[in-house]
Amino acid sequence: MLVVVDQPLANLVALTLNHGKYVTHIAENITRARIELETWRPHLLLVDLDADDADELDLIGQRVVNRRIPTIVFSVRGDLKTKLAAFDRGADDIITVPFVPEELVARTLALMRRSYGDGIAFIPVINVAGLEVDLLNQQVKVGRLRPELTAMEQALLYLLASNPGQTLGREEILDALWGADYVAGSNVVDRHVRNLRLKLKDDWRNPRFIGTVPGKGYRFLGSR
């Protein structure tokens, strides 16, 4: 189960968790999250923490019917105050945004094993929008091709594919994958999109996967 304020991030997390056999519910606010905790009783809680919102901190380590729910918190890079507050409340782990899919997979699996024993299987290969992605070997299967992706290209692919049909701006992508304090004015997003297209054999004039939205950003075509 998830509580994530910002939708592209929630979708990215939900897609990435397909590397384990999770059922995910997304709650867009705290009231909704509390209802889900009571009625659905998830095994794992992931909360995106906004430093100023004490209510979100209250969600950490909640008990539902005498069982403490393991909690992973998302926090931005460099935000020591939020991290200490989260650990102080009993958060089990923290994932620093920006993150790459591999990091999320490893930390959730480790926490599930710590909390429940060998419960959750690790699924290295998942289907992402018709592409078979192998997280262990960082490969994608496109027709007969099996290009290798760098960790950042893979993260970019997951981010775009988890938000199909939705235009993501360059700034939004930069914040999600490189972090807000990355040197501004850089064309790093465009370069990564170009490389990813090359590897997927995606023609920018007639794309199958990643479309350009002029003046806005990029959009993943097709469905999840």
Partner 1 sequence: MAAPSGGTREGAKPVQIESPRALIVMNETLGNLVVLTLQHGRYDTRRTTSPDDCRALVGEWAPHLALIDLDLFEPFIDIVGRGLTHGHTPIMAFTRRRDTALKLSAYERGADDILEVPFTLDEIVARPFALMRRAHGMTVTIVPKIRLDGLEVDLIEQRVSVAGRVLHLTPIQQTLLYLLAANAGKALSREDLLATIWGGEFEIESNVVDRHIRELRVKLNDEWRAPRYIETVPGAGYRFKSQASVSTAAE
Residues that bind partner 1 (CB under 8 A): 77-81, 83-84, 87, 91, 93-94, 96, 100, 102-103, 105-106, 109-110, 113, 122, 124, 135-136, 138, 150-152, 179, 181, 183, 186, 188, 191-192
Query: Which C-beta is closer to partner 1: that of 35 or that of 110?
Result: 110
Query: Which C-beta is closer to partner 1: that of 64 or that of 152?
Result: 152
Q: Is the N-terminal amide bond of 164 cis, ω within 30° of 0?
A: no
Nearest by Cα to 76 from 200, 218, 182, 159: 182
Query: Which C-beta is closer to partner 1: that of 31 or that of 186?
Result: 186
Output the CA angle 140-145-150, nearest 5 degrees: 40
Which tokens in the block code for residue 2?
């998830």
CA distances from 176 to 58, 97, 113, 145 (A): 25, 7, 28, 28
Query: Nearest distance from residue 32's CB to partner 1, in Å?
Result: 28
Query: Which C-beta is closer to partner 1: that of 127 or that of 187?
Result: 187
Query: Nearest distance from residue 166's CB to partner 1, in Å?
Result: 25
Query: Nearest distance from residue 105's CB to partner 1, in Å?
Result: 6
DSSP 45-63: EEEE--TT-HHHHHTTT-E
